[in-house]
Amino acid sequence: MTLIAAEDASTFAPPPGAFRKTKWSVIWLLTLTLFSALTVGGMFAPLQDAAKADLGISDLQLGLLAGMASAVPVALLSLPIAWMVDHKTRSRLLIFLASLWAFGTIGTAFVQDFTQLFAVRLIAGVGGGCAFPVVVSLLADVCMPDRRGRSMLLVSVGAWAGAGAAFAIGGSLFGYFAAHPGAGLMGLAPWRETHLLVGIGAVLLVLPLFLMREPQRYEVGETALTLRASMAGVWRRRKFLLPLFVGQMSGGMAEGAAAIWIGSVLTRAYGLQPGEFGGWVGLVILGAGIVGSIIGGFTADLGHKTRIRGGILLPALIATALTIPASAYPIMPTVGGFAWVLFALLLGGTIVNLVASAAIAVLIPNEERAICLAGLKIMGSVIAVGLAPPLIAWLASYADGPGGMGQVLTWLGVVTGFISLAGFWLAMVHAPQNIAKAAQV
């Protein structure tokens, strides 16, 4: 029986288990692209106070820019874009999304009020927030299944490096333009010049994508030409995917809450000011991302080679178990203890995120991967951005003393950690067999 790829009705899929040499040039290009997405996506954060003063906007409006401008595009457009990833030309789609975040960043330099700023950040959010499924789908077809964990390692490191570069590049350029008025391209305010220059750099990084050829699709389970048909295929795997989503979502609540409230806990419970903790917190986040990506990439491949059903998820199960005691980071008696335990929490979270994505890339048919990754992205964005922060604030209002928020964060991490642990265990129990083998006929 011959399988037909859904992307073009006349395109025939190769044998599902056919050997293909890892195309490292494509993987490096995808890594650079994701680096660009995370850099421009996080560029506004270190400069938002300058933008606030320049435009006369409020803290509430800043909150909308930080959360809604990124969460709304993901929630509304992830599934339609994911269907396009599974059935259309992915390289062209990635060029389009990269262009959105590049020109959205340039547009940020010229806004005159909150409405315009929200619009351009929304455009940039569409590109950056929806690019991950495209990258993973392309990556999965340029390497064998047993090497996807290591390939995703590089992409994950690129994403974390981009998140760190947003602060490093944004802060450095802003400081230079502030110290040298008129030194920028158009003599704009420093925060505007920074966005303009970085946006131009992002446009230049779009150009190499035109050299990337659309890779052949592998491990195609069946033809599915509609979003409804793709969703039906995902529903058939609900015994595996729902526990996987629960595991990912529960762990994401603790990480999302940590990202929002780290500064508040350090200020209220430890008496530190942003200038005293900003540098080392950034290093903790970057270090956990790099080390966790390395561990997650290699252990995912090792787990996949075991005879354990769903063995690729075994590293996520172990990492989740280790993050439960690490949820105590905000009640550590010393700042040093806070830093090391926070590192452990973020390390485990990085491993879990990478392994869960690798499991989808290996165990789910080609034509349904992006839909599943979009589901993970939607649930993560809605829970981390929409639910966790206000939930923590509400619960902390009933706690006494400066350490009350830390206690709430700890309990949230412990409870969601056990839920996540159960989710990953059930996902392993109901994991489908390797699609590369199942699809062979």
Q: Which residues pair with 12 in a beta bridge?
A: 4
Q: Where are the domains of the chain?
A: 19-218, 236-436
Domains 19-218 and 236-436 share a fold: yes
CATH number, span 236-436? 1.20.1250.20
Q: How far is Cα 355 from Cα 256, in angstroms, rounded to an integer?
A: 18
Q: Tell me: the pLDDT tens digits for 384-398?
A: 655 666 667 677 777
Pick the more confident residue, 239 or 434.
239
Question: What was the pLDDT predicted at 129?
Answer: 76
Highest mean pLDDT among 45-59, 203-217, 257-271, 387-401: 203-217
Q: Which amino acid is at 368?
A: E
Residues 6+ apart with CB under 8 A from 156: 289, 292, 293, 296, 297, 350, 353, 354
Q: Which amino acid is at 180?
A: H
CB 440 within 8 A of CB 364: no
Phi, psi angles (nearest 5°) of residue 146: -75, 5
- Rounded to two decimals, the pTM is 0.66
Average pLDDT over residues 205-233: 73
Pick the more confident residue, 368 or 80.
80
Residues 6+ apart with CB under 8 A from 31: 154, 155, 157, 158
Confidence of residue 297 (pLDDT cuts 50, 70, 90): confident
Give the Å distances, CA to CA, from 52 to 44, 117, 177, 393, 397: 11, 11, 17, 23, 28
The third-level CATH classification (topology) of the domain covering 19-218 is Growth Hormone; Chain: A; (1.20.1250)
Residues 6+ apart with CB under 8 A from 172: none
Q: Tell me: the pLDDT tens digits for 403-425?
A: 777 888 888 889 989 999 999 99
**Measured torsion, CA atoms of residues 322, 327, 332, 335, in degrees rounded to the nearest 10:** 90
